[in-house]
Structure 1
Amino acid sequence: MASSNTTWPPGEIWKDLIPFGPLANCTLALCPVEWSVFTYQPSIAANAALLAIFGLLLLVHAAQGINYRAWGYMGCMIAGCVLQIVGYVGRIMLHGNPFDFNAFLMQIICITVAPVFYCAAIYVLLAQIELTHPSRITTLDPSLSRVSPKLFYYIFIPADVTCLILQATGGALSATGGDIDAINTGVSVSKAGLILQVVVLAIFLSATADYLLSYRRAHGGALIRRLSVFLGALGAGVVCVLVRCVYRIVELKGGYFGPEFEHQWEFVALEGVVMCVAVVFFAVGHPGMSLYRLRGEKGPIREEGQTEVAQQGGVGYH
């Protein structure tokens, strides 16, 4: 099965060569790289660098999670990093054989769905902010929110799960598609998941910005420094995820065989680098620095934190 943007040379020698799909049998020794779905060999240097960065970030998030006992946040972040690593392993494999369909599926599914886990970590975390948990959680005057943070459990988290299901299902349909139409159906399902993710992220950012503006109007002051870093870094990370999702929708505009799918360095920059920056923000704004006590500590996070809170009014540790 040839892609629509390639020209198949005539002659008997070419008739049994398949460049894409479960039955692909092309190799670089038999077929030109332009016949591959990417039309290029993925860069080993770029993909190895991204793999190494996500590996390092995985270790950072694991250390932070253990130190602050932020198990749920840590689990989601590690799951996202593991998927990124597996995806970039797949892209490195594609350098040696751009027609390797298993490697293609590794990278397209894992890299596409990984950010869903980062978003899940944030939705669960912010939903917990309102809950009174005496050992772990900070409260940011939830009375000011137009929507109860508890609804994060009933709106944003189910929507995030739906995004994951759509994107994974799209990848599976692409894997089992017997022709271009069936593969494009899988691409359309994946795009639906990405579009839903953009909508959910946009609503989430709007709701968060609205809350912070309400807080400033009500209390007339800035948040304490630790909480400012926490919310600012997480917000920046979510914006990065949003930019990346918009890019992936554009990339898949013409399906796997469209011209937008053939630009390696746009993918490296707007998928790989942008998501690395996002996960760095999620580490800088780790909730342990403002919401969780250090491992082995008892009582409030810090005495001075309580004093700051009392002075500013409305933000309290429970």
Structure 2
Amino acid sequence: MGDCMIRIFPVGDGFFSSPPSVVGSAVFLAAFAILIPINWWAGMHWNTPIYSLTIVAGLVFEVIGYIGRILLNLDTASVVGFVLYMLGTIMGPTFITSAVYQILPHIVVLYGKEFTLVSQPAYFGVFFMVLDLCTIAFQAAGVAVSISGATPDERTRGLDILLAGLAMQMASIALFLCIYWRFVYKIHHRIYILDATFRDVYLSAKYKMFLLCMQLAAAFILVRTIVRFVSLLEGFDSILNQSQLVALLLDATLVLAACIILIVIPVGAAFGRSWSITSPYCPGDGDANLPLHRRRGRSGPREITPPLPTALPNAYSPRTYNPGTPPQPPTHVNGSPGASRPPYGWAYGKVSQTSPGPSPSAVEYAPRQQLVKHDDIW
């Protein structure tokens, strides 16, 4: 029995060549534990329960992981401690990124149906949810098989399954960032007028800062996942996997930094009441035919921005033009007959009735309806 147990251990008579630092493990355990009630309160206060509970689940797994690391400090051959450490520190970032994925459909709904990348923003949430479930299944199965395998081949197969789960996590985070940056590019190079329904949200400084925090958090967890993947390529006995410095600085610190960044500006504080209104999953009564399945707010049905700015009565712009026919708005954009909305910045007007002289000598344009400035979007 003793010989069989020795063959299971990756190094010597334990899972680590030296006991993990109990001080470092305790510090990170306390830090993750403190963030649990803070995220719980933020979810209840800002009415974002699903998002906050997902982050809380990730924080709980991190706490469990560092409890296992403390058990490994007491006994490097503790199978229970190693299982808790591996599952906790691998599952925790997966749940945190799952919470970040929930933000993307709400962002897409904010700007209007012309800027959607798919027919329904809810598809983003469903797609990433499926990826997360597959990732969790592969990671849990990999840890279980690599620990309980009776032969070296079975343990190696378990490690390969675990690496597949980490690879899926890396791919999902990278895909999320690519979709988000593609959406940002489409907003900056738009040919349509932004939907002004939620302009108070996407023009606020708090919302812009939150988007930056979201990207940093996703990037931190992506780097951490890459480090964990590389450290396990050579097995549990590799130099990187046995290094306490790598485990604390490039693993625990990055995940903790991502969690702190996400709570500095809670998602509910950035979106306000618009978080529930922009949910693409639960359309309100009578709104099932809306293109993005937006729900009605308390103030009544949302107003749709007209295709063209409307002229204000008895109000004219000081800008004057030479006599001639006013320019007409384009009916085709980029050769597409279906795109009938004018480019951003278009204005139209009428001949002034108060111009001096026997005949109208200037064409004055009515002031445009207040739109969104290009430089103030992000």
- After TM superposition, the score normalised by the length of structure 1 is 0.78
User: 2: CA distance between counterparts of 1:175 and 1:291?
Assistant: 44
1:93 paired with 2:71, answer yes
List per-residue Cα deviations over 1:233-289 (Å, max 9, x = no partner): 111100011001100110101111233321111111111000000111111242111
Runs of 4 or more consecutive aligned structure 1 residues displaced over 6 Å after TM superposition: 219-222
CA RMSD of aligned residues (A): 2.6
Deviation at 1:67, TM superposition (A): 0.8
Determine the structure 1 residue equivalent to 2:244.
Answer: 264
List per-residue Cα deviations over 1:121-166 (Å, max 9, x = no partner): 12223224456xxxxxxx1334223335222133222111111111
Determine the structure 2 residue equivalent to 1:170.
Answer: 142
Determine the structure 2 residue equivalent to 1:30.
Answer: none
Determine the structure 1 residue equivalent to 2:105.
Answer: 127
Report the 3-state secondary structure (helix = DSSP H, G, I; strand = E; otherwise coil) of the residue aligned with 1:116.
Answer: helix
1:144 paired with 2:115, answer yes
| Runs (5+) with no aligned partner, structure 1 | 2-14, 25-32, 132-138, 301-309
| 98-107 or 145-154: bigger deviation | 145-154
Deviation at 1:120, TM superposition (A): 1.5
Out of 131, 147, 156, the position equivalent to 1:159 is 131
Preserved CA contact (<8 Å) 1:144 1:211:
yes
Report the 3-state secondary structure (helix = DSSP H, G, I; strand = E; otherwise coil) of the residue aligned with 1:208.
Answer: helix
Preserved CA contact (<8 Å) 2:145 2:154:
yes
> Among the aligned pairs, what percent are the same residue?
24
User: 2: CA distance between counterparts of 1:184 and 1:16?
Assistant: 19
Amino acid at match of 2:254: V
Out of 80, 95, 105, the position equivalent to 1:117 is 95
Deviation at 1:42, TM superposition (A): 0.5
Deviation at 1:179, TM superposition (A): 2.5
More helix as a share of residues: 1
User: 1: CA distance between counterparts of 2:170 and 2:3?
Assistant: 41
User: 2: CA distance between counterparts of 1:98 and 1:311?
Assistant: 63
Out of 24, 40, 49, the position equivalent to 2:18 is 40
Determine the structure 2 residue equivalent to 1:18.
Answer: 5
Amino acid at match of 1:79: A
Determine the structure 1 residue equivalent to 2:372.
Answer: 312
| 218-227 or 145-154: bigger deviation | 218-227
CA 1:237–1:74: 2 relative to 1, 3 Å: same
User: Of the two structures, which has the highest relative contact order with CA contacts closer than 8 Å and spacing of 6 or more?
Assistant: 1
User: 2: CA distance between counterparts of 1:270 and 1:49?
Assistant: 15
Out of 231, 234, 255, the position equivalent to 2:235 is 255
Amino acid at match of 1:71: P
Determine the structure 2 residue equivalent to 1:54.
Answer: 32
| Runs (5+) with no aligned partner, structure 2 | 275-296, 300-369
1:184 paired with 2:164, answer no
| 149-158 or 53-62: bigger deviation | 149-158
Determine the structure 1 residue equivalent to 2:277.
Answer: none
- After TM superposition, the score normalised by the length of structure 2 is 0.66
